[in-house]
Amino acid sequence: MSADGLPERFDVMVYPAAELRGELRAQPSKNYTTRYLLAAALAEGETRVVGVATSEDAGAMLRCLADWGAGVELVGDDAVIRGFGAHPAAGVTLNPGNAGAVARFLMGVAALTTGTTFVTDYPNSLGKRPQGDLLDALERLGARVSSDAGKLPISLSGPVRGGPVEVSAERSSQYASALMFLAPLLPGGLDLRLTGDIKSHAPLRQTLDTLAAFGVQASASDALSRISIPGGQRYRAGRVLVPGDYPGSAALLAAAATRPGVLRLSNLREHDLQGEREAVDVLRQMGADITREGDTLTVRGGLPLTAVTRDGDGFTDAVQALSAAAAAASGTTTWENVYTLRLKECDRISDTRAELERLGLSTSETEDSLTITGTERVAGGVTVNGHGDHRMIMLLTLLGLRAEAPIRITGAHHIRKSYPQFFRHLEALGAKFEYLPTDAH
């Protein structure tokens, strides 16, 4: 058993839910938790990060920061961090688990050390994701780098001075964010030029927002192709409050939109830089009844939904949750400009298609798009593969809730990467699950 009362590794049996009804508070944001914890460690002095996420990715960041010499204490729902400033310990091996953003942000900061090694115990997931664009930029800045053809394990050593540097932003925004965290602590700062067709602008703005919250000066062009961060600055320790999480909440909103019942979901700021906030507009455009009162959204579910065609790059981490709505909508939905989904915990285009087709849906793909034709009936009664991907597990769960017979999702414990309370939250709304222990990783 794990601390959350669920087996350490499990498949989940998802039972059809006649309705979903109740009130929930959105979990803390993954992207702000990782950013605030890192910025707190890069400050000198003590920072209280109020209301941190309890996911594996948050745990990975806390563990790596402690291994680098930060003081890390959990006090209730908060993390109190005593920072190492510009001096993470040298000669340390860090294991960021399966957390892409954590791994990449820390690789950028590793240029402050005279040697850090990165390994992962997820060779088939994070171990396969590309790191070369970041490593190339760090090498251009003068860091020494060794890697397994641009993948983990990776060793990096500085010091670097800073100055102008190019970084490709067409496969992930996390490489540029990594350099942005590093920049203020370098003597020469960084004058970043983001090259290629820049993807995931929203997380870049979350990084700028985090720097500002810690008193770091930065300036960026409107399209974010130039980001200048003067050197010789300090991160200012203090107190920051983690907002609610839109990517995980998008799954609850889509669940509520595709079943009868009413969900009230609080702790979701209206003005927020998380791109997945757009999931609310997408669901509304599909015909869902969603109203807002302050930070609380109310979904009145069970209305007929219709297909949409949307550029998904603004809300990458909600595309799978919204695919559950697409699977319930009349017509054919296409998510365009989502090539980067292929480079996540699994190939979120091809692998998603495979699982949707197993459930009887018709789908198609191009290199950078995913198309799903909705269906009124999902028969269920099958086993589907979670692909070790929390967002795939969310999508498949939503399909199970409206299937006619239960479905089994393999490796459902990977939900803990970003949303450990996901099944518990749905149970609170009336859903029923069975947790079947498994030995599979």
Ligand X SMILES: O=C(O)C1=C[C@@H](OP(=O)(O)O)[C@@H](O)[C@H](O)C1
Ligand Y SMILES: C=C(OP(=O)(O)O)C(=O)O
Binding flag, residue 28, ligand X (CB under 6 A): no
Binding flag, residue 317, ligand X (CB under 6 A): yes
- Output the six-digit token pair for 29: 């944001």
- Output the six-digit token pair for 113: 């050390």
In whole angstroms, how close is the CB of 247 to ligand X at the nearest point? 7
Q: What angle separates helix 30-42 from helix 246-258, to the nearest 10 degrees? A: 170
Q: Where in 323-352 is the site for ligand X (CB under 6 A)? A: 340
Nearest residue to ligand X, by Cβ distance, number only: 172
Choose between 200 and 258: whose C-beta lies nearer to ligand X.
200
Choose between 108 and 374: whose C-beta lies nearer to ligand X.
108
Q: Among 27, 29, 31, 258, which residue interacts with ligand X (rule: CB under 6 A)?
A: 31
Q: Among 47, 113, 125, 172, which residue interacts with ligand X (rule: CB under 6 A)?
A: 172
Binding flag, residue 168, ligand X (CB under 6 A): no
Choose between 206 and 363: whose C-beta lies nearer to ligand X.
206
Specify the amino acid at residue 270: E
| Binding site partner of 249, from ligand Y, ligand X, none, Cβ cut-off 5-8 A by kind | none
Catalytic residue among 317, 351, 368, 389: 317
Furthest C-alpha separation in the chain: 62
Q: Site residues (CB under 6 A) for ligand Y?
A: 30, 99-101, 317, 344-345, 391, 418
| Binding site partner of 267, from ligand Y, ligand X, none, Cβ cut-off 5-8 A by kind | none
| Binding site partner of 391, from ligand X, ligand Y, none, Cβ cut-off 5-8 A by kind | ligand Y
Is 131 annotated as contributing to ligand binding? no
Is 100 annotated as contributing to ligand binding? yes
Q: Among 95, 177, 333, 385, which residue interacts with ligand X (rule: CB under 6 A)?
A: 177
Is 417 annotated as contributing to ligand binding? yes
Specify the amino acid at residue 388: G
| Binding site partner of 203, from ligand Y, ligand X, none, Cβ cut-off 5-8 A by kind | ligand X
Binding flag, residue 386, ligand X (CB under 6 A): no
317 tagged catalytic: yes
- Output the six-digit token pair for 48: 């209280």
Q: What is the C-alpha to C-alpha distance for residues 241 and 50, in angstroms, rounded to an integer?
A: 5
In whole angstroms, how close is the CB of 383 to ligand X at the nearest point? 27
Q: What is the C-alpha to C-alpha distance for residues 41 and 44, in angstroms, rounded to an integer?
A: 7
In whole angstroms, how close is the CB of 136 to ligand X at the nearest point? 16
Q: Among 168, 200, 363, 371, which residue interacts with ligand X (rule: CB under 6 A)?
A: 200
Specify the amino acid at residue 214: F
Is 147 annotated as contributing to ligand binding? no
Choose between 120 and 157: whose C-beta lies nearer to ligand X.
120
| Binding site partner of 99, from ligand X, ligand Y, none, Cβ cut-off 5-8 A by kind | ligand Y
Q: What is the C-alpha to C-alpha distance for residues 303 and 280, in angstroms, rounded to an integer?
A: 15
Annotated binding-site members: 30, 35, 100, 129, 172-174, 200, 317, 344, 348, 391, 417
Annotated catalytic residues are: 317
Q: Which residues bind ligand X (CB under 6 A)?
A: 31, 34, 101, 172-174, 177, 199-200, 203, 316-317, 340
Summarize the annotated binding site for 3-phosphoshikimate as residue ranges.
30, 35, 172-174, 200, 317, 344
